[in-house]
């Protein structure tokens, strides 16, 4: 079963493809997405990577958490489920 990982501390210039390529060293990447600021049109400095299975996800966490990626120290851990937001007034 696929496992989604949170990846923080990314350089703002990182692309989805660069993120996918880096994490593919730990296993099969199902998806890799950099979160973009809608107003500014640039990266928010974090993203999500979905690994094919739990073992590959653990390998990716071990490989990348706390490591340097283009001059920035990454934070990699299992993503928490999206919590519902309160309605806006």
DSSP 36-81: E-TTT-SEEEEEEEEESSHHHHHHHHHHHTT-EETTEE-EEEEPPP
pLDDT for 86 equals 84
Rounded CA separation 2/58 (Å): 12
pLDDT for 13 equals 94
pLDDT for 2 equals 84
Q: Which of 54, 46, 50, 38 is nearest to 72 (CA)?
A: 46
User: What residues in the chain have per-residue pLDDT under 50?
Assistant: none
**Domain positions in the chain:** 3-78
pLDDT for 37 equals 94
Residue 18's φ and ψ, nearest 5 degrees, are -65, -40
Which tokens is 66 given? Answer: 């706390």
pLDDT for 82 equals 79
pLDDT for 83 equals 83
pLDDT for 87 equals 86
Identify the CATH class of 3-78.
Answer: alpha beta
């Amino acid at each position: 079963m696929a496992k989604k990982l949170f990846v923080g501390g990314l350089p703002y210039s990182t692309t989805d493809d660069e993120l996918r390529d880096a994490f593919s060293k730990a296993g099969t990447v199902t998806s890799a997405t950099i979160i973009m600021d809608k107003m500014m049109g640039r990266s928010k400095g974090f993203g999500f990577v979905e690994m094919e299975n739990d073992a590959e996800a653990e390998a990716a966490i071990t490989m990348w958490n706390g490591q340097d990626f283009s001059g920035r120290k990454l934070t990699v851990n299992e993503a928490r489920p999206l919590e519902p937001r309160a309605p806006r007034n």
